Structure 1
């Protein structure tokens, strides 16, 4: 099972880099941003590192956001432009932490000019007041008055208007039958359907939902409706991918 998730994560990274323009390098430069979350961000980063560190064509760097009372917090600003992909592993729910303004503006420029971001699990919940981040992720963990939601019906995308439906939520983790909706380099080798272990299906994820392509979907037990599992968002010349693979976090 670990080998499978490694293949999935690698295919997502390869696919997301195919969406953007980048200079030829011997190794793909991957940056993991962490430092705060409502989940165990240290463990998550360690697992991603374990999955990817033995790949000869990938070089990993970690940039940890300092605590906001640390003297270096205000000057924290990674050189995003040096990286092909940023794996976003921070979430400000219930902790009040955030990125410094200069780092946020630098990241917006990086993404708009052709960068790539993998929104790793709970990073989708983060920064509801960061307008450009909402555009980057397309859909996030928000209340029903925040924006549109996306459902799938008969293999077609349907939009739920702001204020309709429910706040974002999910049921218990379970084995979910995932359906591929859109073929893309990220998932081109996947079957049309597969059983994903220990997955949460987000119902009524909300946001601008602009320039968004749904890659896969699955059924929410509470409503019996099909919602997005993974989706890709174009942002300027760049792209971001929601990567919702909770089972990674279950590893010791």
Structure 2
């Protein structure tokens, strides 16, 4: 801008009135172009984090998830400890819901029909839904919830002790782009109850020899969902690849470009 002003001043003082008017027009045009070329900060992704109950230690994992998201200026998190009161008003202005909440195995605190309708409408209209570990283990009497999360702990699901295993990328996808196989320490869920239509993004080989999905994605009308099965506790969540997959999952379900 200083360079533009310098040259305009030099040229302006050497020309007649008509030429000066022309130069002023050029100057203002350049000024407008310069203004519009300044990058405008994108609107942050507004995340509603469901918490307040879980058969895992949500009192440590929820703050951990918040901290991971706070590393990124394009993500803003609001936490609710009463997701069973979810309604249309709570979802206004939100882009993505992240579930770290369940009522397993009692399946108490049932959601009302109003909450069901609000969530389904949110997703079908373009909202994102991200499930972390056991965050899908609720609403067992609501078929849409299983379709949304993509999977949950079923009657045959089980896991062994926390151990090291290799995670392999099963499919090229915006969430996994550029990621190669990596080592991870966690419990590995086996025989998960999956819904139809999920895209398996990452797998890990179980002791049975079966490649078990540990990250899946799904398109839901105009909305998107991502289920990250990894993440048993806060210590496990602090592994770099958990953070990368989580943040990419949030961005993808929000319809944003993966950085």
C-alpha distance in 1 between matches for 2:49 and 2:200: 24
Where 2:153 maps in the other structure, the secondary structure is: coil
Where 1:246 maps in the other structure, the secondary structure is: coil
| Paired position in structure 2 for 1:115 | 127
Instruction: State the TM-score, normalizing by the size of structure 2.
Output: 0.69
| Paired position in structure 1 for 2:173 | 184
| Paired position in structure 2 for 1:236 | 221
C-alpha distance in 1 between matches for 2:183 and 2:78: 32
The number of residue pairs the alignment matches comes to 196
Q: How do 1:16-95 residues align onto structure 2 when only pairs under 5 Å count?
A: 25-65=42-82, 79-95=90-106
| Paired position in structure 2 for 1:195 | 183
C-alpha distance in 1 between matches for 2:178 and 2:86: 42
Q: Which moved more, 1:103-112 or 1:242-251?
A: 242-251
C-alpha distance in 2 between matches for 1:134 and 1:79: 22
C-alpha distance in 2 between matches for 1:182 and 1:56: 28
| Paired position in structure 2 for 1:162 | none
| Paired position in structure 1 for 2:163 | 174
**Greater fraction of residues in strand:** 1
C-alpha distance in 1 between matches for 2:167 and 2:226: 17
| Paired position in structure 1 for 2:254 | none
Matched, 1:218 2:207: no
Q: Please report the RMSD computed on the Cα atoms of aligned residues, expressed in angstroms.
A: 2.3
Larger radius of gyration: 2
Query: Where do 5+ consecutive residues of structure 1 fail to align?
Result: 1-23, 67-72, 144-166
| Paired position in structure 1 for 2:16 | none
1:204 corresponds to which of 173, 191, 197: 191
Shift, 1:91, TM fit: 0.7
Where 2:209 maps in the other structure, the secondary structure is: coil
C-alpha distance in 1 between matches for 2:133 and 2:232: 10
- Deviation digits for residues 177-212 of structure 1 (CA, Å, limit 9, x no counterpart): 111011111111211x11112x222211114x2221
Cα 1:240–1:201, aligned 2, differ >3 Å: closer, same or farther?
same
C-alpha distance in 2 between matches for 1:29 and 1:47: 17
- Deviation digits for residues 62-120 of structure 1 (CA, Å, limit 9, x no counterpart): 12217xxxxxx758665324212111111111342233331221001111111111101
C-alpha distance in 2 between matches for 1:84 and 1:126: 22
Instruction: State the TM-score, normalizing by the size of structure 1.
Output: 0.71
Shift, 1:248, TM fit: 5.1
Where 1:79 maps in the other structure, the secondary structure is: helix
- Structure 1 stretches of 4+ with a deviation exceeding 3 A read 73-78
